[in-house]
Structure 1
């Protein structure tokens, strides 16, 4: 007798106490048992991180670590909760879903696996390679054993690092002077004997080793090596307020000035208005200290090449020592970032420009962090009130591009230059003449 007759339902009846459904064994559909839910919930789809969220996360981490009170010397939970608050409060992520601090921490330290199933490079390796290339000026294959990075990967890390620094910090550390910044610079200039002075301007050359052969004649000057020019304005604390980079090395300072946007805000009427008095004469345009190659404009004050008499000698001494601010800034920039001091090894001029701007941004960040340790000029006499100041900055600016030609003529007025220089000679003598004697 067949123990398993075809019309027997014994196998099926084993499930009858659990389900009233008739099961078709030939059907591919699985039955629903009473212990299961009628509607199976779908798995929650993980929200992918966008490039905009990554940028805000980096900004949150850096700004939270830059806190002068607690910095990153705190418990991991508290640190990442502050990053979560900064991240979710960002205006750049309006419309995005909020992230928890655990998600931010996981995203920050996440390493992906490559085709072999091995973890890829960490963010610490990549940033270390980029910073070491900037600081020591070496080629990309120098760190293949130390950081396990190939030359092409190291160059790519440097390129991404420079893009990120400019995207996150360029607006803050390459900004034009605000009215508060201008007033502080004017106060420092007045204490140093130069009312109306907001810095010193000069040019620096960066050698381009791998300049294309077709361009060598355009970028090569008397030294026989191709160079790229950087025009900069620096203040007493070595902050670089203006950086214009990329012109060929055959151009001198005057040719660079003709192409520079250093006076674009003044010509377009977007710069804050400045008024100051020297020797009872009123002037309404700030100026820079320069060397002898710059023209006799109202916005430039040079030294006296052959000073005659004690007043001229004292003025020349004071002007030349004060103008060294920009030279000191160039020296500190090159000492901190050897990549700027050594010949540029890249072929792409655009990437070289990004490296220079990144170095200037990092230089200003270091100046901001270490400024309290510098020998500061005492401007406390101006903090109590504005009555003792000889210079004033208007807090509101008015757009007026219709008078651009008149403003340009005023910037280049040689008569105002001569009168201002004579007044400065008298002012320096009145302020420091008796002290030096």
Structure 2
């Protein structure tokens, strides 16, 4: 039995703690906050999207950075293992649209309580208000930590589970990157990911608060399509957000460094251009003597109609029977490709996760152990791994945590 020190009491740290303690090790989780699982508490809008209910091979396309590195992790401890873990720990789960898995209660606190219960049952100890200043390494091995208050804690193994640089109010202040650098590891450039997108057009802020559920999104660089998706989004005072937009940010993050990108929304994705034309013609025939603005209002939410009138190029007061075929078809093109320009990404304070981190080239993929320092492990978001929304980032945390816990001698 060895003594394991885990820096960080978030998703990865707690999961590693449970499995290491179950394997018979003496486990100490060092958490600088007043409680564990602070970031977990706010994930999935407070509902906690635990994982994605899919086969392990379906996880890889959802990982944006270094998916191949996670081969062992996902196949050793996949979504079904995670679901079994929480259901056995007394949290009934449910699967929603897009295979997203949530606690049936819709309370993230149930996930945190389950982890804390399992830690206690297995004999692990959580030390709150315990901030780590430095790693202690001797003869190429991790041998403990130095705390902010000057105390040293000895350990046979150290697991760094400090999270990334997003949601800093929860304690993710980049400590793990510093620990990695100070012990000779390469840390790739970090950037916010799963963030809202900033836009150029003045009509976007006028739609602030408008949510669209079934919408198609296309993002292009010149003529090249970078990203296409279908789902839910919302307009804000500075741009666009919502699940579909956050996932898009993970895909286009690196492309944004080259400048602005063109984007469009398909406001009626269930209709082909021909079907849309037939639908618009029906409305036109029913209101031939009405003004354009009064007829098209049935097609859109109230706040969107004035903007569509502006972009469509048909005068609002024009009578339906005076509208030409060309005008009508141009207006339908706007419905199928509502245009806007992406000028930038949200900041770390808005980011759900961090892109970049401890280089996976320095980590053993089957154990999460450092290739530079023995008995030192890095797990979860501190690594250069990031996925789209849908439970994939938490799955990365659970899978890498399990591997590290199993690898400790």
Q: TM-score, normalised by structure 2?
A: 0.27
Larger radius of gyration: 1
Q: Which has the higher contact order (CA 8 A, sep 6+)?
A: 2
Structure with greater proportional helix content: 1
